Amino acid sequence: MVITEEMAERYSRHFVLKEIGVSGQKKLLQAKVLVIGAGGLGSAALMYLAAAGTGVVGIADFDKVSLSNLQRQVIHGSGDVGVDKTLSAEKFISRLNPDVRVILHNAKMTVDNIQSVISGYDFILDCTDSFESKFLINDACVLSKKPYSHAGIVCFEGQIMTYVPGKGPCLRCLLGGVPPRDGSITCSSAGVLGAAAGVMGSLQAIEAVKYILGIGDLLVGRILRFDALKMQFSEFDFPKSDSGCAVCGANPKIRSLADNRAEYEGTGCM
Amino acid sequence: MVKVNGVQLNIDGKTIAEYIKTIQYDIRRIAVERNGNIVPKSEYDNVVLKEGDSLEVVGFVGGG
Ligand SMILES: [Zn+2]
């Protein structure tokens, strides 16, 4: 991998970091990271991954940009309303950094396609907006032995953790399964502060970069919660996975995604 | 006394389910760890908290 003069200037603030340097930048330029969901979390994550010179950035989304997205989904602009989110995000990234190759997955991730999509990537970001999708991604990553960053955000609060195969609990260890729907909170009534989603998405991009570079301490075996109103971060230690976990445990009930199709096929957004 | 997220509380003798009912957490969207081990949801009704236990309780949200 040749570092051009333009790259040397673009990434000069990375080069001076001893944890990154030229060799770390080369790793980033050869890394493949998939972002599932180009919404509130995904916007920030995609922008920072692209700016950092992640060699291949995959974007998986099946939605189109709407005006009500723009309050938080800052990778899209007013002129993109009605356009596929994947295309709109790609347009932003290509303007930001031509070193990044963008791969579009303009489809809903399902039991039938997700494992083949994630197989081409080194690290995955769950930036989706439903527990059904979050469990689909979790189980796919566990079964395919892929590391990924989980995050969620509603109103002013969010949480983030990182799964690395064999190193700590997965989302299913922690929650058991998709929580039943709460009738009082619906897609349209649940608000979210845009910048709070941006904080969580930025944290996910940091985890991806650290994983690629092998630096620092990942959020494996611990959950970081952010409360934007109190302006507090709290950390919760969950160092051990659950040996009875239905997907990563000693005797897993879910041996293929198809075994568990119904749980992933809810329709709401919470 | 039982330590919950680092704070000592007088909830000895309560089950995990009974304790969770006293706080604002939605029991379906939390993860609980007791003395370093994740407590499966099916055990919340059975596990009785004892003097010296240490709990971590964290809520999850699903938006994005
Ligand atoms: Zn697990």
DSSP β-bridge partners for residue A57: A33, A102
- Give the per-residue pLDDT at A270: 41
What residue of B is the nearest CA neighbor of A190?
A: B63
Q: Residues A213, A29: contact at Cβ < 8 Å? A: no
Encoded tokens for A76: 């899209």
The mean predicted confidence, pLDDT, of chain B is 95
Q: Residues A263, A237: contact at Cβ < 8 Å? A: no
User: Could you say which of A153, A234, A241 has the minimum Cβ distance to residue B64?
Assistant: A153
Q: pTM score, two decimals?
A: 0.96
Give A116's DSSP letter: H
**Interface contacts (A, B; CB < 8 Å):** 93
- Give the per-residue pLDDT at A180: 85
Which class would CATH give B2-59?
alpha beta
Residue keyed to tokens 């055990």: B43
- Give the per-residue pLDDT at A190: 83
* Residue B3 CB burial class (10 angstroms; 0-12, 13-18, ≥19): middle
Q: Residues A159, B58: contact at Cβ < 8 Å? A: yes
Domains with residue ranges and CATH for chain A: 15-264 (3.40.50.720)
> What are the residue boundaries of the structural domains of chain B, listed by start?
2-59
**Which 3 state secondary structure label does DSSP give B26?**
coil
Per 3-state DSSP, chain B is made up of helix, strand and coil in percentages (nearest 5) of 20, 35, 50
**Which 3 state secondary structure label does DSSP give A161?**
strand
Write out residues in chain B with pLDDT < 70, as ranges.
none
Ligand 1 centroid distance, CA of A160 (Å): 16
User: Could you say which of A41, A239, A241 has the minimum Cβ distance to residue B64?
Assistant: A41
- Give the per-residue pLDDT at A156: 97
User: Could you say which of A180, A190, A240 has the minimum Cβ distance to residue B63?
Assistant: A190
Residue keyed to tokens 């333009």: A6
Mean pLDDT split into 10-residue runs, chain A, 270 residues:
96 98 98 98 98 98 98 98 98 98 98 98 98 98 98 98 98 95 60 98 98 98 98 97 97 97 75
Residue keyed to tokens 């673009």: A10
Contact state of B60 with A175 under an 8 Å Cβ cutoff: yes
Which residue type does A214 have? Answer: G
Ligand 1 centroid distance, CA of A84 (Å): 34
Residues 5-64 of B with CB under 8 A from A: 5, 26, 28-31, 33, 36-38, 40-42, 56-64
What B15-18 contacts at long range (C-beta under 8 Å, 24+ apart), as own/partner pairs, is B15/B44, B15/B45, B15/B46, B15/B47, B15/B48, B15/B49, B16/B43, B16/B44, B16/B45, B16/B47, B16/B49, B16/B55, B17/B44, B17/B45
- Give the per-residue pLDDT at A258: 96
Which residue type does A58 have? Answer: G
Contacts of A161 in chain B (CB under 8 A): none
Contacts of A129 in chain B (CB under 8 A): 62-64
Q: Residues A128, A152: contact at Cβ < 8 Å? A: no
Contacts of B58 in chain A (CB under 8 A): 159, 174, 223, 225, 236, 238
Contacts of A74 in chain B (CB under 8 A): none
Encoded tokens for A207: 């985890």
CA distance B62 to chain A (A): 5
Q: Residues A93, A57: contact at Cβ < 8 Å? A: yes
- Give the per-residue pLDDT at A187: 52
Contacts of B63 in chain A (CB under 8 A): 40, 129, 152-154, 158, 190, 192, 269-270
